[in-house]
Structure 1
């Protein structure tokens, strides 16, 4: 049978990350691939107790359909958390939408803002999930390089100026940025750049989509104000998730935006899944009501800090003799971005596979397909010993690769 798929379906490609992570189940493998939280950080006992309680006592809500906007009890707790984390005042329930994870939030942003051929300003490298969601809408990417303190704002303005000259500025729908500990690079956008980004957005009348799934996972330094603190809901859409600070299985994502945008996203969500699961929303609400999630997450933050330091130490030990080898040392989050000279990390992957160590090649995070000498390495799931052993194997895979290519270790 030859099925008549849509043009969109015919363009769909499998997620490189999902495909590569299949290898991670190989016995004896060390995987730096997925941004998967350590299961030992999940508050399973507290959630188990609450789950029984909310099913038995609140079954009329938890086992029934919910409103598309989300559980009012959860939205109430989220507004309290937004005040504590971001010091955002004046938000109303109408400014909040609960989604099935932040990936659905990204997909809904694309649905309500992008027409085929519209432009989105994105970074290089950029979060693959966002790129995938925007590609679903046939968006065109205006790419800016990342500097040590965030996106290159000169390149951002160059894109906006060019679009203005070509009478295409109305088709530049938003600037997308993961503001804290960016996935995949680990880079945090500086305070000055956050302010300047809002100034550019106001000057050229474009929106900013601020994605902040990792901001609470800070190991060192002071927390920076969110971009929304400077631009407000008029200029900024803030996305967040409980996947990294509670557990991903609950699939709770959050959109904070102007009520007009939220309303459009509600209508789009109705055509996607009608509503998020009542049970996981109310379970999350009661957890936030009974426990201080910001206190509860502190042991996990300390664990991730130590794991990150172990990875940095192992990289220094193994790759200090490789000239121009570089890696980021993030102040939080889950990822280290490692760059090796004269390497295509997609090609090198087969040598890593032979050594049973896995990473995500940098090519996966390119807005347009092109080779990359970088790789994303997640430190959150492997044990300390696995981190050290995995980096040792990575060095061997690198040596295998340059030998096969006839290159010289430099």
Structure 2
């Protein structure tokens, strides 16, 4: 049977995640991986979660083992609303402004399903978070790829593109700008306050939404906190967040916050997808954040990641710093740095050499929805030990030297 002929157009467009495929070798003996953006498992509060799990299974089984509402557990919503008040000064969010999702990836998928069509435009960073690219691409929109600079999106570029759409009468088809405001994945950069305000001004002028994705904002280990885009323009912003980086990714819990009308539409989309998020993990997270101060609890994690970031910056400088035209970002939080190598180096092609040298990274090619900058790579510093970071960078330098020599590239 010709199964290909039975596939939908959406299914034909879906591609396997490059990251998932490349990291299949991450657990090979002796391998040092800078690839996945997975939290350090030693930071998970497993004993406290085990205690709460026993309690809710014994005492709240009628809820945690049953179907829940599509909108999400009211106890978890209540706890998250309290966090927004306490740490972000956001005191206007109500139950109807929020829906709980199965991780932030489902949040991205639901936003794309709810807002995008084939004739839609949306603005995304260049490079873009792979999960967002995958979710939005299923709707086959027209992407406006906004260059990412050291302080966030290049809004002058965006404004020129918006003006072009206005002039040709297509501006009403521009749905949203997707922005990771803090510690961008993969770029590692943070959008400054001036650019956040400018983005809001553009949204008001050209009448579009802002989708602010903030999975890493709580993981700041230096510098000053910047007000969220959502706090500046709650009526124009859809805020996405997750418990994956501050509690445990295995819970698969994400949050969408926005205007009541939009949340109702997104909830209807979710209803068709999975009926509801798991009651058990929602109530587990709810009781945890009610019993413990989440941000006090993650303070040791932030310290750990900050120290590893410092080690990574030092190891890059010592091992790669003398390479001609090299550049890398210096994040104030989050899990990633973005390295740009000399022109002519193709990090996807070089990856096979890296595997032989037992060091892994994510080739930059994975983070584009247009023609990629092939001389780039994403490096994660959260999982390897300090010793592995230094040794991994030494291995990576050997790989770069070998590849450059074979290609006749002067570095």
**TM-score surpassing 0.5?**
yes
Q: Determine the structure 2 residue equivalent to 1:2.
A: 2
**Aligned partner of residue 181 in structure 1, secondary structure:** coil
Give the stretch that moved more between structures: 172-181 or 350-359.
Answer: 350-359
**How far did 1:33 drift?**
0.6
Residues 100-179 of structure 1 mapped to structure 2, 5 A cutoff? 100-179=102-181
**How far did 1:170 drift?**
1.0
**How far did 1:247 drift?**
0.6
**How far did 1:85 drift?**
2.7
State the distance in 1 between where 2:13 and 2:223 align.
Answer: 43
- Tell me if structure 1 keeps the 8 A contact 2:362–2:379: yes
Residues 227-376 of structure 1 mapped to structure 2, 5 A cutoff? 227-232=229-234, 234-342=235-343, 343-376=345-378
Normalised to the residue count of structure 2, the TM-score between the two structures is: 0.98
State the distance in 1 between where 2:66 and 2:28 align.
Answer: 40
Aligned with residue 43 of structure 1, among 45, 50, 53:
45
Give the stretch that moved more between structures: 361-370 or 291-300.
Answer: 361-370
**How far did 1:369 drift?**
3.7
State the distance in 2 between where 1:220 and 1:139 align.
Answer: 37
Spell out, residue by residue over 1:46-100, the C-alpha distance to the aligned partner (whole angstroms, 9 max, x if none). Answer: 0000000000000000000000000000000010011123211211100010000
State the distance in 2 between where 1:9 and 1:189 align.
Answer: 34
State the distance in 1 between where 2:371 and 2:145 align.
Answer: 12
- Tell me if structure 2 keeps the 8 A contact 1:36–1:380: yes
- Tell me if structure 2 keeps the 8 A contact 1:119–1:142: yes
State the distance in 2 between where 1:407 and 1:143 align.
Answer: 29
Q: Determine the structure 1 residue equivalent to 2:217.
A: 215
Aligned with residue 406 of structure 1, among 402, 405, 408:
408
**Aligned partner of residue 271 in structure 1, secondary structure:** helix
**How far did 1:261 drift?**
0.5
Q: Determine the structure 1 residue equivalent to 2:77.
A: 75
**Deviation >6 Å, runs of 4+:** none
- Tell me if structure 2 keeps the 8 A contact 1:346–1:371: no
Q: Determine the structure 1 residue equivalent to 2:64.
A: 62
Spell out, residue by residue over 1:250-303, the C-alpha distance to the aligned partner (whole angstroms, 9 max, x if none). Answer: 011000000101000111111100000000000000000000010000000000
**How far did 1:356 drift?**
0.9
State the distance in 2 between where 1:128 and 1:329 align.
Answer: 21
- Tell me if structure 2 keeps the 8 A contact 1:344–1:372: yes
State the distance in 2 between where 1:171 and 1:84 align.
Answer: 37
Distance 1:200 1:371, change over 3 A: closer
**How far did 1:371 drift?**
4.2
Spell out, residue by residue over 1:127-158, the C-alpha distance to the aligned partner (whole angstroms, 9 max, x if none). Answer: 01001100011111101111111111111111
- Tell me if structure 2 keeps the 8 A contact 1:209–1:238: yes
Please tell me the root mean square deviation across aligned C-alpha atoms, in Å. 0.8
**How far did 1:403 drift?**
1.1
Aligned residues: 408
Distance 1:311 1:404, change over 3 A: same
- Tell me if structure 2 keeps the 8 A contact 1:95–1:256: yes
**Aligned partner of residue 312 in structure 2, secondary structure:** helix
- Tell me if structure 2 keeps the 8 A contact 1:191–1:224: yes
**Aligned partner of residue 339 in structure 2, secondary structure:** strand
- Give unpaired runs (5+ residues) of structure 2: none
State the distance in 2 between where 1:327 and 1:247 align.
Answer: 29
